[in-house]
Amino acid sequence: MKGKIAFEEHMAIPETLEDTRAFAGDSGKWDDFTRQILDMGDERLEIMDKTGIEFTILSNNAPGVQGIRDVDQAVEVARKANDAMAEAVARHPDRYAAFAALPMHNSDVASEELTRCVKELGFKGAMVNGFQQTGQEDDVLYLDETELRPFWGTVSELDVPFYLHPRMQLPSRAPIYDGHPWLKSSPWGFAVETSIHSLRMCGSGMFDDYPNLKIIIGHLGEHIPYDLWRIDARMAFSRREYRGNRPLGEYFLDHFYITTSGNFQDPAFKCCLDVVGVDRMFFCADYPFENMEDAADWYDATEVVSGEVKLRIGRTNAIELFDLDLD
């Protein structure tokens, strides 16, 4: 399929590059990976052309700004990453847009940078890599916490999508992984961390306060679509401190959008479609952590969808969600 749009597609600047070494794959391929994630020019565009991906929304790599505890340093690095993406978009406006990298230490700094990126740089939303590290080494701030509620007011006012991307849990907060570090990263821990974070958001009351919020998660829903019926069924017996006014599943189905990033298989894809519906499904690749070729080859060949539905998931849903000026 030609004309696909992908938007979990990552870049790095030198200040955030090393953050990815732990989960970028075989250490022997680090030089190739480094070249790919720093590049926002010819090599990336050539692969996009080869795989039928017309347009990409760029985002800074994980954990990126979320791993910087000092707020002033985080603001500086976020602005540098965002300015680098803005330069790439200016060079190739028909191929790229961008998501803002945000320092999430408090609502003021996060709102200021998001507003700058959307209103001055024309960004299409934000991508934040899970919880924000703050203060001491083990201090973290999750996005549903009360002190960040004014930030969500800014997101609501700007009316832009927000991509919640995975990151690894801190060792001090995840003893269950002791002796099995391979579990902490993309094979399992990414989905665990992001799914719990998403469910926290659903149960926090934030969607009652701001009913137009649009949250995107990748990897075919980080296991949530598969379990959504059971989550709601068991919530009847487990509502202690649940702050939502509606069933959790309703918030998820009303506010979350799902991409195919890094999960290229038919059974899970069909499950997502059955649970969330065609309008909330999107093609993505997760480059360079995944190959664009693998993503595109799978999507182009899958028989789970065809015709107009394949076009919607691969292209037109993204045009509508991000208000893209594409024919």
Q: Is residue 67 part of a domain?
A: yes
Q: Is residue 265 part of a domain?
A: yes
- Measure Cα distances from 203 to 181, 208, 249 in Å: 30, 10, 10
Give the chain's domain count.
1
Give the CATH number for residue 303. 3.20.20.140
Q: Is residue 327 part of a domain?
A: no
Task: Find the largest Cα–Cα distance for the chain.
Answer: 55
Distance CA 94, CA 325 (A): 9
- Residue 252's φ and ψ, nearest 5 degrees, are -65, -45
Nearest CA to 219 among 283, 280, 156, 277? 283
For residue 27, the model assigns a pLDDT of 61
Model confidence pLDDT, tens digit, residues 3-18: 999 999 999 999 999 9
Nearest CA to 164 among 197, 132, 137, 208? 197
> Burial of 191 by CB count in 10 Å (0-12 exposed, 13-18 middle, 19+ buried)?
buried
> What b/e sequence results for 102-113 when a residue is b if at least 16 CB atoms lie within 10 Å of its CB, and e otherwise?
bbbbbbebbbeb
Q: Is residue 68 part of a domain?
A: yes
Q: Is residue 295 part of a domain?
A: yes
Tell me which residue range forms the domain holding 219.
4-322
Q: How many CB atoms lie within 10 A of CB 208?
A: 12
Residue 61 DSSP label: P
Portion of the chain with pLDDT greater than 70, in percent? 99
Q: What is the rounded radius of gyration, in angstroms, for the C-alpha atoms of the chain?
A: 19
**pLDDT above 80 for 26:** no
| Cβ–Cβ under 8 Å, residues 164 and 217 | yes
Model confidence pLDDT, tens digit, residues 70-86: 999 999 999 999 999 99
For residue 240, the model assigns a pLDDT of 85
For residue 20, the model assigns a pLDDT of 86
- Tell me the DSSP string of 145-192: SGGGHHHHHHHHHHT--EEE---PPPGGG-GGGTT-GGGGSTTTHHHH
Mean of the per-residue pLDDT values for the chain?
96
Looking at 72, 227, 232, 286, which residue is catalytic? Answer: 286
Tell me, yes or no, if 286 is annotated catalytic.
yes
**pLDDT above 80 for 307:** yes
- Tell me the DSSP string of 78-132: HHHHHHHHHHHHHH-TTTEEEPBP---SSHHHHHHHHHIIIIIT----EEE-SSE
